[in-house]
Every structure is written in structure tokens, then in C-alpha cells.
Amino acid sequence: MLLRILGTAAGGGLPQWNCACPGGAGARRHPTRRRLHDGLAVHGADPGAWFLANATPDVAEQLEDHSALRPGAGQERTPVVPVVLTDAELDHTLGLLRLREAARIDVWCTEPVHKALTTRLPLPDILAPYTELTWHELPLTDAGQPARIAGLEVSALPLSDKRPRYAADEPAHPAWSAALEVRDPGTGASALYAPAVASWSDLLDHEIASADCVLLDGTFLHEDEPRRTGVSRRTASEMGHMPIEGRNGTAERLRRIGARVHYTHLNNTNPLVDPDAPQHERLAGLGLRVAEERMVVSL
């Protein structure tokens, strides 16, 4: 199994067009610091079999950045694009619109995400003149057999009832935001992809400990970061993202687990977007690191 990191930034990317914060300014001065929206491509045993974990606004550039995701020799087009969603947030779903040249888009998601994308953000109506959207239910962990996608077993670990703003009045459901659990049935290798973690549960703790590789929510470094930088009146946790450092942070929890973890989904206000920030050294001392653009993880 191969994990191709397509992007590592939170909504807006890095730099964010309307922000002159140190992270954004640094990325404008140093183009190598730029980060595309957080996303992932996962390959099964067959090199030609893959699926997207989330479809970001940058999806076209992300696919073009990886030759293995382009049409192969003798193939004029990629006819079907498989997409597995962690949630219904705009930065994880707007890429479906950019994939409209495909003959068909197969989408796996949880029940509340499907409802949001078909009623509140009516993607089937918008895309019908361009392509065919085929919907599949993404099974919840421990609630049935996982889905078989690209030769891999995939299921959703419910994380929170955090809804996108356009569906804020929809009923609560524990799988509005989920982590993707991916397992290679041939080798037993497993990965966990969780770009938005609002709270820590015993089940999440267990699944992180048992995964061979974890890509985890690293949106904010500190709890008060959104307020302090002026991006929100809410704290990191109130925005649905546990901070990395501090009493309620994920870093210390992960140190106790000892898992192979890469932080992803970094906000432009997070000091970790600067590769020279001293916080990188502190994380390395805990056995933790930040995912890099175009990184490939082999499991």
C-alpha cells in the first residue's frame, strides 16, 4: 500500500489569498513552503488501482503532480475517479466539481455527508450535465464489513458531529466527521487518516496505536491560536480541531502511544508551516513530525 500526500494545508491553502500572517508571507517569499489543500491518494497492490481520500479545490494540480495518477500509456482519459470522503467540508468536497470531465465519479461517504452533498450542496443536480455521480455508503468501523476500494478495505471511524457551516442546522450525527481506516488485506498493513479531530476517544486511541501510519489533524498548534491571530472568536477545540500542544493537546497523547504519526491539515497561522520553526525540534523529540507536500509513504 502506498500513501501519496497530495496536500497538507487546511482550508484556504498556504498562502491563503486574503492573509498576510507570517506563515502566508513566508510562503510567498519562499515558494517551496507553499502547501495545497490537505488530501491523499491511496494505492492498493495493483499500481493502477487507487482512490482519493477527499477531493480538494486543488485536485487537478494534485493529480498532475503525481505521474502515477495521470492517464497511463495508451489511455487517453481517466474514466472513473474513486473518492472517499472524511466529511462534507467545502475544502474536502469542492474538488468533485473539478473532476467533472470523468465519465463517472464513485463517491464513498457516511450517511450525513451524503445528505449534505445531495440536498444542502446539491452536487448531483450541478454535475448531472457533465458526469455521473455514483454514491456508496462508507461502512462505520465495527458496524459491518469494510468497503473494498482499489483492493483495500476501507471504513469510517466516527469522530464528531462537526457539521460544515452550510449544514449547521442539520441533525447531530457522530459520523459527520470521520477518520478513514485503510487496510491492505494481502499484507495486513494499515493506515489511519484523520484530518479533523474534535475530541479524543478510547476507540481513536486504540486505532491510532494499531495503525502502521497515522495522518492526523495538525490544524492549530495552540488552543488559543485562532483567537490570538484573529481568524476566529472561537478556540481551536471549538472549531473542531484539537491543538497539538498544551494540556488538551494531541502531542502528549501520541507520545504515550508511540505511533508513527505525521501531522497534516495545517492552518496558515500554525508556526509549523515554517520548516525552520523551533517547534519542529520539540515534536521530533516526541517522535512526531509534519507531513510534507508530495511525500510518499510505503506500507
**CATH at residue 88:** 3.60.15.10
Beta strand pairing call for 152-160 and 177-183: antiparallel
pLDDT tens for each residue of 79-131: 899 999 999 999 999 999 999 999 999 999 999 999 999 999 999 999 999 99
pLDDT tens for each residue of 162-209: 999 999 999 999 999 999 999 999 999 999 999 999 999 999 999 999
Distance (Å, whole) CA 227 – CA 144: 41
Beta strand pairing call for 261-264 and 213-217: parallel
* Total number of domains in the chain: 1
Which domain, by its residues, includes 86?
Answer: 2-298
Smallest CA-to-CA distance from 218 within 291, 298, 276, 294 is with 291
pLDDT tens for each residue of 222-269: 999 999 999 999 999 999 999 999 988 999 999 999 889 999 999 999
The answer for residues whose C-beta is within 8 angstroms of residue 209's C-beta and 6 or more apart is 257, 258, 259
Smallest CA-to-CA distance from 163 within 236, 119, 110, 112 is with 112
Give the start-end residues of each E strand in the chain.
2-7, 39-43, 50-53, 80-84, 104-109, 132-137, 147-149, 152-160, 177-183, 190-194, 213-217, 261-264, 288-290, 296-298
Q: Residue 74: which pLDDT band, with cuts at 50, 70 and 90? A: low
Residue 138 has pLDDT above 80, yes or no: yes
C-alpha cell at position 265 = 491539515
Beta strand pairing call for 50-53 and 39-43: antiparallel
Give the residue-averaged pLDDT of 290-294. 97
How confident is the model at residue 48, as a pLDDT? 80
